[in-house]
Amino acid sequence: MDNVVIMGTGPAGLTAAIYAARADLRPLVVEGNAPGGQLIVSCEVENYPGFPDAVSGMELMGLFRKQAERFGARFVSGVVTSVKALAGGYVLTCGDEPIETRAIVVATGAMARRLPIASEAKYYGKGISGCATCDGAFYRNLDVIVVGGGNTAMEDAIFLTRFAKSVTIVHRRDYLRAAPVEVEKARGNPKIKWMIPRVIDEIIGEDLVTGVTLRKPDTNDTEHMDCDGIFVAIGHDPKTELFRDLIDCDSLGFVRIEPGSTRTSAAGVFACGDVADPHYKQAVIAAGTGCMAALDAQKYLEMNVK
């Protein structure tokens, strides 16, 4: 039986792997269908400490992995498709192979929801972003759109006014889900314009985004709008489908953890990174909680394995 299986190879899973490997736990790390995690699609990471000249997401994740390998972490490609409790641990299915383990670190991330239009995939990372905190500073003196009507959309729009020349909120309904106080703040900001109710029918560009076709849902009238960037703020889907019967999750699907730890409601299962983080969703936080998960798993194994 393995000591600990780490599910995920983003900053959380790879940091857990570094710490667990260095503690001689010989962790088995399952890569999932996105080795390196979400950051892989990010051309430039400017806010990860230790890289004053920025670093590509690909390079950063390559370095994390190299460090985990140096201490003996074992990697397996594939996706975990089931997790069941058994005496003294858990059995996971990955491909045809069952994997038995005493502890699990869940670092499966949370995917930013995407716009359901073909041209969105073409321009993701080339003017379309799911993270205002990460990419806002790249849009100084440019015109950007924020898609969404919830609190995150309002917060992102207000944040982006620090850099952008203008921020237009596009939302498909004529009412907003966001708290009135957030809406008031956005409405009071002279840089923020409103296009509601509108949906984006198409994203237009060459190498980068240059504009969108907007449609009024009630009349189907369309119009063109120039813009340099689009921030999609329509929520995240935490990757917790496999665990819904095993560990407590909140109403949005994020893993509930004991405050100040990475312990979940199931003994020996620890969660770190975006999958347990409805608020911040930043690589450095994922890495920090990945460290916590490995230390929590180490402690659990010391206390529970004879």
Ligand X SMILES: Cc1cc2nc3c(=O)[nH]c(=O)nc-3n(C[C@H](O)[C@H](O)[C@H](O)COP(=O)(O)OP(=O)(O)OC[C@H]3O[C@@H](n4cnc5c(N)ncnc54)[C@H](O)[C@@H]3O)c2cc1C
Distances in Å between the Cα of 140 and the Cα atoms of 52, 144, 167, 220 are 19, 10, 11, 33
Is 135 a residue of the active site?
yes
Nearest to ligand X of 49, 190 (CB atom) = 49
- The Cα–Cα gap between 77 and 66 comes to 16
- The Cα–Cα gap between 180 and 159 comes to 17
Secondary structure (3-state) at 285: helix
Is 131 a residue of the active site?
yes
Strand order in the sheet with 128-129: 128-129, 229-232, 143-147, 166-170, 192-195
Rounded least distance, CB 35 to ligand X, Å: 6
Rounded least distance, CB 203 to ligand X, Å: 16
Number of shown-chain residues binding ligand X (CB under 6 A):
41
Asked whether the beta carbons of 294 and 105 are under 8 A apart, the reply is yes
- Candidate segments 38-46, 159-167, 178-186, 202-210, binder of ligand X by CB under 6 A: 38-46
- Candidate segments 18-26, 35-43, 68-76, 209-217, binder of ligand X by CB under 6 A: 35-43
Does 119 interact with ligand X (rule: CB under 6 A)? Answer: no
Rounded least distance, CB 65 to ligand X, Å: 10
- Comparing C-alpha atoms, which of 129, 139, 194 is closest to residue 161? 139
Residues 98-117 that bind ligand X (CB under 6 A): 107-109, 112
> Which residue type does 249 have?
C
Q: Which of 3, 38, 101, 119 binds ligand X (CB under 6 A)?
A: 38
Is 134 a residue of the active site?
yes
- Candidate segments 19-27, 113-121, 129-137, 227-235, binder of ligand X by CB under 6 A: 129-137
Q: Which residues are part of the catalytic machinery?
A: 131, 134-135
